[in-house]
């Protein structure tokens, strides 16, 4: 079971240090759950430093496929490894929506990160319009076609209509989507999309759900720790 917190564009270095100190205390007795936090690039180093010696991993929110070069604004897998970062999120729907990332690019980013020794959480999921048109499985099949099963790869199913909206996939929808993903790719699958302490336990108990990629609820240490504790009971 993996619980990863995607902080998006929140928390500078000071807030990150405070959060990670509190998280160490909250999770001191946690067993049976892998935990990762995913701060913005500028806060990765302080998170790695504060969480050193704990079982809480630090991952980036994105990674580029070239090791170096004239790619203004990008960060490579070797740079992340040098910082002590363990992995990266790839292909989040916000990257696809706002920055034009494509399935092909997600495949290249994933391949480069895995080859460099990073773990990857690759995100997939349909929009509300695609679900209403009955295209969910077609969308997931297309997004997964650029990936192949590997030990350090995890997929996060994030229905786009449930990200930051307060809407959450019903247990039936989540279970069905996760089972379909696993029929195509034999990797652990996390659920993401308005995961909160109130719904975490029900979602994490589903047989095809292997953890959660938590957005807004990961920004509050009490909320995030509560979700991690729910995972330990699932």
For residue 171, what pLDDT is reported? 87
For residue 162, what pLDDT is reported? 76
The CATH number for 72's domain is: 3.20.20.70
> What does the alpha-carbon distance between residue 89 and residue 84 come to, in Å, rounded to a whole number?
15
- Residue 167, domain member (yes or no): yes
Which range marks the domain in which residue 138 is found? 2-83+97-233
- Residue 89, domain member (yes or no): no
> Which has the closest alpha carbon to 109: 60, 142, 78, 76?
76
- For residue 163, pLDDT beyond 80: no
Angle between helices 197-204 and 171-184 (to 10 degrees): 50
**Number of domains, the chain:** 1
Looking at the annotation, which residues are catalytic? 92, 158
pLDDT in tens, 148-162: 999 999 999 999 887
- Residue 52, domain member (yes or no): yes
Burial class (CB in 10 A: 0-12, 13-18, 19+), 121: buried
Q: Which conformational region is residue 53 in: left (phi greater than 0), alpha (psi within -120 to 50 degrees), or beta?
A: left
- Residue 125, domain member (yes or no): yes
- Residue 64, domain member (yes or no): yes
pLDDT in tens, 36-61: 999 999 999 999 999 999 999 999 99
196-209 mean pLDDT: 94
> Which has the closest alpha carbon to 66: 76, 56, 81?
76
- Residue 91, domain member (yes or no): no
130-145 mean pLDDT: 95
Contact 188, 212 (CB under 8 A): no
- Residue 92, domain member (yes or no): no
> Which has the closest alpha carbon to 177: 164, 160, 200?
160
- DSSP for 144-198, please give it: HTT----TTEEEEE--GGGSSSS----HHHHHHHHHHHHHH--S-EEEESS--HH
- Residue 129, domain member (yes or no): yes
């Amino acid at each position: 079971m993996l619980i990863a917190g995607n902080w998006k564009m929140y928390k500078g270095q000071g807030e990150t240090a405070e959060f990670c100190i509190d998280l160490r205390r909250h999770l001191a007795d946690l067993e049976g759950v892998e935990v990762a936090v995913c701060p913005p690039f500028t806060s990765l180093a302080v998170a790695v430093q504060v969480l050193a010696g704990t079982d809480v991993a630090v991952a980036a929110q994105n990674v580029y496929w070239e090791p170096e070069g004239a790619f203004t604004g990008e960060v490579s897998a070797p740079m992340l490894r040098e910082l002590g970062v363990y992995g990266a999120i790839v292909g989040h729907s916000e990257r696809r929506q706002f920055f034009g990332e494509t399935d092909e690019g997600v495949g290249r980013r994933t391949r480069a990160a895995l080859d460099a020794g990073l773990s990857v959480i690759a995100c997939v999921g349909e929009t509300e319009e695609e679900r209403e048109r009955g295209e969910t499985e077609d969308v997931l099949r297309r997004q997964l076609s650029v990936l192949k099963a590997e030990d350090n790869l995890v997929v996060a199913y994030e229905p786009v209509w449930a990200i930051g909206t307060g809407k959450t996939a019903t247990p039936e929808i989540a279970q069905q989507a996760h089972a379909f993903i696993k029929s195509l790719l034999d990797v652990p699958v996390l659920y993401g999309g308005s995961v909160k302490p109130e719904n975490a336990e029900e979602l994490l108990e589903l047989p095809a759900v292997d953890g959660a990629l938590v957005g807004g609820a990961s920004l509050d240490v009490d909320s995030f720790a509560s979700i991690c504790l729910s995972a330990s009971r699932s």
